[in-house]
Chains A and B, each alone.
Chain A
Amino acid sequence: MRFCRALFLAALLTAAPAALVAQPQPSADEFVPMEEAPPEEQIPAINLVAAAYGFVWIVVVGYVWSLGRRLQKAESEIAALEQRRR
Protein backbone atom coordinates (compact mmCIF):
# COMPACT_ATOMS: atom_id res chain seq x y z
CA MET A 1 0.00 0.00 0.00
CA ARG A 2 2.83 2.37 0.95
CA PHE A 3 4.56 1.49 -2.29
CA CYS A 4 1.44 2.46 -4.14
CA ARG A 5 1.12 5.75 -2.44
CA ALA A 6 4.74 6.60 -3.17
CA LEU A 7 4.16 5.63 -6.76
CA PHE A 8 1.19 7.90 -7.11
CA LEU A 9 2.88 10.75 -5.40
CA ALA A 10 5.60 10.38 -8.02
CA ALA A 11 2.98 10.20 -10.75
CA LEU A 12 1.30 13.32 -9.42
CA LEU A 13 4.61 15.16 -9.49
CA THR A 14 5.14 14.16 -13.09
CA ALA A 15 1.63 15.34 -13.87
CA ALA A 16 2.64 18.95 -13.39
CA PRO A 17 5.17 18.84 -16.22
CA ALA A 18 2.49 17.14 -18.26
CA ALA A 19 0.65 20.42 -18.37
CA LEU A 20 3.84 22.30 -19.09
CA VAL A 21 5.27 20.04 -21.71
CA ALA A 22 2.96 21.26 -24.41
CA GLN A 23 3.89 24.84 -23.62
CA PRO A 24 6.93 25.06 -25.92
CA GLN A 25 4.65 24.30 -28.86
CA PRO A 26 5.13 26.96 -31.53
CA SER A 27 2.64 29.67 -30.74
CA ALA A 28 1.63 29.89 -34.39
CA ASP A 29 -0.26 26.63 -33.91
CA GLU A 30 -2.84 28.39 -31.83
CA PHE A 31 -4.16 30.12 -34.89
CA VAL A 32 -4.78 26.92 -36.81
CA PRO A 33 -8.43 26.26 -35.91
CA MET A 34 -10.42 29.25 -37.07
CA GLU A 35 -13.92 29.65 -35.78
CA GLU A 36 -16.83 31.91 -36.31
CA ALA A 37 -16.68 32.91 -32.65
CA PRO A 38 -15.48 36.44 -31.96
CA PRO A 39 -11.82 36.68 -30.93
CA GLU A 40 -12.58 37.69 -27.34
CA GLU A 41 -14.46 34.40 -26.90
CA GLN A 42 -11.55 32.33 -28.11
CA ILE A 43 -9.78 30.31 -25.46
CA PRO A 44 -6.20 29.32 -26.30
CA ALA A 45 -6.12 25.61 -27.13
CA ILE A 46 -3.27 25.06 -24.73
CA ASN A 47 -5.45 26.04 -21.79
CA LEU A 48 -8.11 23.55 -22.81
CA VAL A 49 -5.59 20.74 -23.34
CA ALA A 50 -3.95 21.48 -20.00
CA ALA A 51 -7.34 21.57 -18.27
CA ALA A 52 -8.31 18.23 -19.80
CA TYR A 53 -5.07 16.54 -18.75
CA GLY A 54 -5.19 18.10 -15.32
CA PHE A 55 -8.73 16.89 -14.87
CA VAL A 56 -7.84 13.33 -15.89
CA TRP A 57 -5.02 13.31 -13.37
CA ILE A 58 -7.12 14.74 -10.57
CA VAL A 59 -9.89 12.20 -11.11
CA VAL A 60 -7.56 9.20 -11.42
CA VAL A 61 -5.35 10.14 -8.46
CA GLY A 62 -8.37 11.06 -6.35
CA TYR A 63 -10.08 7.77 -7.11
CA VAL A 64 -6.98 5.67 -6.44
CA TRP A 65 -6.44 7.55 -3.19
CA SER A 66 -10.02 6.97 -2.02
CA LEU A 67 -9.87 3.33 -3.08
CA GLY A 68 -6.60 2.82 -1.22
CA ARG A 69 -8.02 4.41 1.89
CA ARG A 70 -11.17 2.31 1.78
CA LEU A 71 -9.14 -0.86 1.24
CA GLN A 72 -6.88 -0.05 4.15
CA LYS A 73 -9.84 0.63 6.42
CA ALA A 74 -11.46 -2.67 5.49
CA GLU A 75 -8.22 -4.54 5.99
CA SER A 76 -7.67 -3.11 9.46
CA GLU A 77 -11.28 -3.86 10.38
CA ILE A 78 -10.85 -7.47 9.32
CA ALA A 79 -7.63 -7.71 11.33
CA ALA A 80 -9.36 -6.28 14.42
CA LEU A 81 -12.30 -8.65 14.07
CA GLU A 82 -10.08 -11.68 13.71
CA GLN A 83 -8.03 -10.60 16.69
CA ARG A 84 -11.17 -10.43 18.78
CA ARG A 85 -12.37 -13.83 17.64
CA ARG A 86 -9.22 -15.49 18.78
Chain B
Amino acid sequence: MKDFFRVAWLVVRKDLMVEARSLEVVSTTLFFALTVVLVFAFGLVREGTPVGDVSAAILWIATAFSGTLALGRTFERERQADTLRALMLAPADRPAIYAGKLAGMLLLMALVEMVLVPLVGLLFQAPILGHPVHLAALLLAGTTGFAAVGTLFAAMLVRARSRDVMLPILLYPITVPVMIAGVRGTAALFQGTPDEALARFWIALLVFFDVVFVTLALWTFEPVMTE
Protein backbone atom coordinates (compact mmCIF):
# COMPACT_ATOMS: atom_id res chain seq x y z
CA MET B 1 0.00 0.00 0.00
CA LYS B 2 2.84 2.36 0.86
CA ASP B 3 4.44 1.40 -2.42
CA PHE B 4 1.28 2.31 -4.30
CA PHE B 5 1.33 5.90 -3.04
CA ARG B 6 5.08 6.20 -3.58
CA VAL B 7 4.79 5.17 -7.23
CA ALA B 8 1.78 7.43 -7.75
CA TRP B 9 3.64 10.33 -6.18
CA LEU B 10 6.69 9.70 -8.38
CA VAL B 11 4.49 9.76 -11.48
CA VAL B 12 2.86 13.02 -10.37
CA ARG B 13 6.24 14.59 -9.62
CA LYS B 14 7.62 13.52 -12.98
CA ASP B 15 4.62 15.01 -14.81
CA LEU B 16 4.79 18.23 -12.82
CA MET B 17 8.51 18.61 -13.50
CA VAL B 18 8.06 18.05 -17.22
CA GLU B 19 5.20 20.55 -17.27
CA ALA B 20 7.03 23.12 -15.15
CA ARG B 21 9.85 23.21 -17.68
CA SER B 22 7.71 24.04 -20.71
CA LEU B 23 4.33 25.13 -19.28
CA GLU B 24 2.97 24.02 -22.65
CA VAL B 25 -0.20 22.24 -21.50
CA VAL B 26 -1.05 24.72 -18.74
CA SER B 27 -0.74 27.82 -20.89
CA THR B 28 -2.53 26.42 -23.96
CA THR B 29 -5.35 24.89 -21.90
CA LEU B 30 -5.91 28.08 -19.93
CA PHE B 31 -6.06 30.16 -23.06
CA PHE B 32 -8.39 27.65 -24.69
CA ALA B 33 -10.73 27.78 -21.70
CA LEU B 34 -10.79 31.56 -21.99
CA THR B 35 -11.69 31.41 -25.68
CA VAL B 36 -14.47 28.88 -25.02
CA VAL B 37 -16.05 31.20 -22.44
CA LEU B 38 -15.79 34.12 -24.87
CA VAL B 39 -17.38 32.16 -27.71
CA PHE B 40 -20.28 31.28 -25.42
CA ALA B 41 -20.58 34.90 -24.31
CA PHE B 42 -20.97 36.01 -27.92
CA GLY B 43 -23.62 33.38 -28.46
CA LEU B 44 -25.60 33.74 -25.24
CA VAL B 45 -25.41 37.35 -24.11
CA ARG B 46 -28.21 39.54 -25.42
CA GLU B 47 -28.18 43.29 -24.81
CA GLY B 48 -25.56 43.04 -22.12
CA THR B 49 -27.19 40.33 -20.00
CA PRO B 50 -26.88 36.55 -20.33
CA VAL B 51 -29.92 34.57 -21.48
CA GLY B 52 -31.45 32.46 -18.68
CA ASP B 53 -29.24 30.57 -16.24
CA VAL B 54 -26.44 29.78 -18.66
CA SER B 55 -23.45 30.52 -16.41
CA ALA B 56 -23.39 27.03 -14.84
CA ALA B 57 -23.56 25.39 -18.25
CA ILE B 58 -20.78 27.58 -19.62
CA LEU B 59 -18.55 26.82 -16.64
CA TRP B 60 -18.94 23.07 -17.05
CA ILE B 61 -18.72 22.97 -20.82
CA ALA B 62 -15.55 25.07 -20.75
CA THR B 63 -14.14 22.70 -18.11
CA ALA B 64 -14.99 19.62 -20.17
CA PHE B 65 -13.59 21.07 -23.40
CA SER B 66 -10.34 22.27 -21.90
CA GLY B 67 -10.02 19.03 -19.94
CA THR B 68 -10.27 17.05 -23.18
CA LEU B 69 -7.63 19.25 -24.74
CA ALA B 70 -5.30 18.84 -21.75
CA LEU B 71 -5.78 15.06 -21.73
CA GLY B 72 -4.97 14.84 -25.42
CA ARG B 73 -1.87 17.04 -25.14
CA THR B 74 -0.51 15.32 -22.03
CA PHE B 75 -0.65 11.88 -23.56
CA GLU B 76 0.47 13.06 -26.98
CA ARG B 77 3.67 14.24 -25.33
CA GLU B 78 4.08 10.84 -23.72
CA ARG B 79 3.57 9.18 -27.06
CA GLN B 80 6.06 11.29 -28.96
CA ALA B 81 8.83 10.58 -26.48
CA ASP B 82 7.63 6.99 -26.06
CA THR B 83 7.77 7.55 -22.33
CA LEU B 84 4.48 5.84 -21.56
CA ARG B 85 5.91 2.58 -22.82
CA ALA B 86 8.96 3.11 -20.61
CA LEU B 87 6.66 3.78 -17.69
CA MET B 88 4.77 0.58 -18.43
CA LEU B 89 8.01 -1.39 -18.55
CA ALA B 90 9.06 -0.09 -15.15
CA PRO B 91 8.64 -2.61 -12.33
CA ALA B 92 5.78 -0.63 -10.83
CA ASP B 93 2.17 -1.33 -10.05
CA ARG B 94 0.01 -0.41 -13.06
CA PRO B 95 -2.88 0.95 -10.99
CA ALA B 96 -0.38 3.17 -9.17
CA ILE B 97 0.75 4.63 -12.49
CA TYR B 98 -2.88 5.32 -13.35
CA ALA B 99 -3.47 6.96 -9.98
CA GLY B 100 -0.45 9.19 -10.52
CA LYS B 101 -1.63 10.20 -13.96
CA LEU B 102 -5.09 10.94 -12.63
CA ALA B 103 -3.71 13.07 -9.79
CA GLY B 104 -1.59 15.07 -12.23
CA MET B 105 -4.60 15.63 -14.45
CA LEU B 106 -6.70 16.74 -11.49
CA LEU B 107 -4.07 19.29 -10.43
CA LEU B 108 -4.00 20.69 -13.94
CA MET B 109 -7.77 20.92 -14.22
CA ALA B 110 -8.04 22.46 -10.76
CA LEU B 111 -5.67 25.17 -11.91
CA VAL B 112 -7.81 25.83 -14.97
CA GLU B 113 -10.98 25.94 -12.85
CA MET B 114 -9.42 28.47 -10.50
CA VAL B 115 -9.26 30.82 -13.46
CA LEU B 116 -12.55 29.74 -15.03
CA VAL B 117 -14.79 30.18 -11.99
CA PRO B 118 -13.93 33.85 -11.31
CA LEU B 119 -14.08 34.53 -15.03
CA VAL B 120 -17.61 33.12 -15.31
CA GLY B 121 -18.62 34.95 -12.14
CA LEU B 122 -17.28 38.19 -13.56
CA LEU B 123 -18.64 37.96 -17.08
CA PHE B 124 -22.04 36.41 -16.33
CA GLN B 125 -22.79 37.88 -12.92
CA ALA B 126 -22.87 34.43 -11.29
CA PRO B 127 -22.89 34.43 -7.46
CA ILE B 128 -19.80 32.26 -7.12
CA LEU B 129 -19.17 33.28 -3.52
CA GLY B 130 -22.69 32.45 -2.32
CA HIS B 131 -21.93 28.85 -1.38
CA PRO B 132 -18.17 28.39 -1.84
CA VAL B 133 -18.00 25.00 -0.09
CA HIS B 134 -20.82 23.46 -2.12
CA LEU B 135 -19.39 24.85 -5.34
CA ALA B 136 -15.91 23.56 -4.55
CA ALA B 137 -17.31 20.13 -3.68
CA LEU B 138 -19.28 20.00 -6.93
CA LEU B 139 -16.24 21.01 -8.96
CA LEU B 140 -13.95 18.58 -7.18
CA ALA B 141 -16.32 15.62 -7.46
CA GLY B 142 -17.27 16.43 -11.06
CA THR B 143 -13.71 16.96 -12.22
CA THR B 144 -12.64 13.72 -10.55
CA GLY B 145 -15.32 11.78 -12.41
CA PHE B 146 -14.46 13.42 -15.71
CA ALA B 147 -10.71 12.96 -15.28
CA ALA B 148 -11.04 9.37 -14.00
CA VAL B 149 -12.70 8.25 -17.22
CA GLY B 150 -10.67 10.64 -19.38
CA THR B 151 -7.28 9.56 -18.08
CA LEU B 152 -8.05 5.90 -18.68
CA PHE B 153 -9.37 6.50 -22.20
CA ALA B 154 -6.55 8.87 -23.17
CA ALA B 155 -3.95 6.38 -21.91
CA MET B 156 -5.58 3.56 -23.86
CA LEU B 157 -5.83 5.72 -26.99
CA VAL B 158 -2.08 6.39 -27.07
CA ARG B 159 -1.57 3.42 -29.36
CA ALA B 160 -4.76 3.86 -31.40
CA ARG B 161 -5.24 5.58 -34.74
CA SER B 162 -7.24 8.83 -35.09
CA ARG B 163 -6.92 9.35 -31.34
CA ASP B 164 -7.61 13.10 -31.46
CA VAL B 165 -11.17 12.60 -32.59
CA MET B 166 -11.70 9.38 -30.64
CA LEU B 167 -11.12 10.90 -27.21
CA PRO B 168 -14.13 13.27 -27.19
CA ILE B 169 -16.28 10.75 -29.04
CA LEU B 170 -15.72 8.16 -26.33
CA LEU B 171 -15.48 10.47 -23.36
CA TYR B 172 -18.54 12.70 -23.75
CA PRO B 173 -21.28 10.05 -23.90
CA ILE B 174 -19.80 8.30 -20.86
CA THR B 175 -19.52 11.50 -18.84
CA VAL B 176 -23.07 12.69 -19.55
CA PRO B 177 -24.08 12.04 -15.90
CA VAL B 178 -21.16 14.17 -14.72
CA MET B 179 -22.20 17.02 -16.98
CA ILE B 180 -25.86 16.85 -15.93
CA ALA B 181 -24.99 16.63 -12.24
CA GLY B 182 -22.36 19.37 -12.45
CA VAL B 183 -24.47 21.80 -14.44
CA ARG B 184 -27.70 21.24 -12.52
CA GLY B 185 -25.93 21.31 -9.15
CA THR B 186 -24.13 24.54 -10.00
CA ALA B 187 -27.31 26.06 -11.43
CA ALA B 188 -29.10 25.21 -8.17
CA LEU B 189 -26.46 27.26 -6.34
CA PHE B 190 -26.49 30.14 -8.84
CA GLN B 191 -30.26 30.63 -9.04
CA GLY B 192 -32.12 33.44 -7.27
CA THR B 193 -32.93 31.43 -4.16
CA PRO B 194 -30.21 28.78 -3.95
CA ASP B 195 -31.37 25.20 -3.43
CA GLU B 196 -28.72 23.66 -1.18
CA ALA B 197 -30.48 20.32 -0.72
CA LEU B 198 -30.58 19.82 -4.48
CA ALA B 199 -26.90 20.71 -4.79
CA ARG B 200 -26.10 18.18 -2.08
CA PHE B 201 -28.04 15.51 -3.96
CA TRP B 202 -25.96 16.15 -7.09
CA ILE B 203 -22.72 16.13 -5.07
CA ALA B 204 -23.72 12.75 -3.62
CA LEU B 205 -24.45 11.41 -7.11
CA LEU B 206 -21.07 12.65 -8.34
CA VAL B 207 -19.22 11.09 -5.41
CA PHE B 208 -20.97 7.81 -6.10
CA PHE B 209 -20.01 8.10 -9.78
CA ASP B 210 -16.38 8.81 -8.78
CA VAL B 211 -16.19 5.79 -6.49
CA VAL B 212 -17.59 3.43 -9.14
CA PHE B 213 -15.54 4.73 -12.04
CA VAL B 214 -12.21 5.23 -10.25
CA THR B 215 -12.50 1.64 -8.99
CA LEU B 216 -13.42 0.38 -12.45
CA ALA B 217 -10.58 2.34 -14.05
CA LEU B 218 -7.98 1.10 -11.56
CA TRP B 219 -9.23 -2.38 -12.28
CA THR B 220 -9.28 -2.07 -16.09
CA PHE B 221 -6.00 -0.16 -16.47
CA GLU B 222 -3.89 -3.29 -15.99
CA PRO B 223 -5.48 -5.52 -18.67
CA VAL B 224 -5.98 -2.77 -21.26
CA MET B 225 -2.44 -1.46 -21.05
CA THR B 226 -0.90 -4.90 -21.46
CA GLU B 227 0.11 -5.40 -25.05
Direct A/B contact, Cβ within 8 angstroms:
no
Which residues of A come within 8 Å of B, CB atoms? Answer: none
